Amino acid sequence: MTQSDVKEAPYPWQETLGFDVTDWGPDFAEVTVKIEHKHANRYGIPHGGVLASILDTAMGFAGCYTGDPAKPQMAMTLNLSVNYLSVAKGTRLIASGKRTGGGAKTFFAEGRITDDEGTLVATATGVFRYRGK
C-alpha cells in the first residue's frame, strides 16, 4: 500500500496515545505508534488496552475510506475481539486493518499488530456500524 493523500486532524484519543494513521486506502488502514513509557502496564510492556485501541482504530479506518477529505465517513465499534499473542520486542507497534465484508449499515474487519522487528503481537476481528457522514 502507499500512503493516502487523505489526512484527518488528530483527535484527542489519538493525541493521548500518540499514534499516527500511516497508510489509508480502500478497505485498508495502518496505524503506528512508538512504544513509550506511557503505554506500559505494571510489567513494563505495552498495555492490552493500547493494543486494542490501535487495532480498533486501524479496522475502523479500513472501512471508512472515501478518498475525499471533504466527505468523511465515520463508524462506531459494535464488537471487538482481540487475541494477545506475544510481547513486542521492537520500538514501534504497527496495526493494520482490513475490511472483510459488510453492507450499507455495518462492516466487518480483521486486524493485526506487529512490531518493527516483525513479531506478531496481536490479532483482532471487529464489527462496525457506519455513522452519518
Angle (nearest 5°) at CA 109 between 93 and 62: 65
| Residue whose C-alpha cell reads 479506518 in the numeric block | 61
- Round to whole Å and give the CA distance between 117 and 108: 28
Query: How far are the Cα atoms of 3, 20, 66, 68, 107 from residue 122, in angstroms, in the given order?
Result: 23, 18, 27, 31, 21
- Domains belonging to the chain, first-starting first, are 12-131 (3.10.129.10)
* pLDDT value at residue 1: 41
Angle (nearest 5°) at CA 126 between 81 and 33: 80
Digits of tens for pLDDT over the chain (133 positions)?
444 566 777 888 888 889 999 999 999 999 999 999 999 999 999 999 999 999 999 999 999 999 998 899 999 999 999 999 999 999 999 999 999 999 999 999 999 999 999 999 999 999 999 997 5
Give the torsion sign (CA, 48, 53, 58, 62): positive
- Round to whole Å and give the CA distance between 10 and 38: 18
User: What percent of the chain stands above pLDDT 90?
Assistant: 83
What's the pLDDT tens digit per position in 5-32? 667 778 888 888 899 999 999 999 999 9
Using CB atoms within 10 Å of the CB of residue 7, give its burial: 0 to 12 exposed, 13 to 18 middle, 19+ buried. exposed
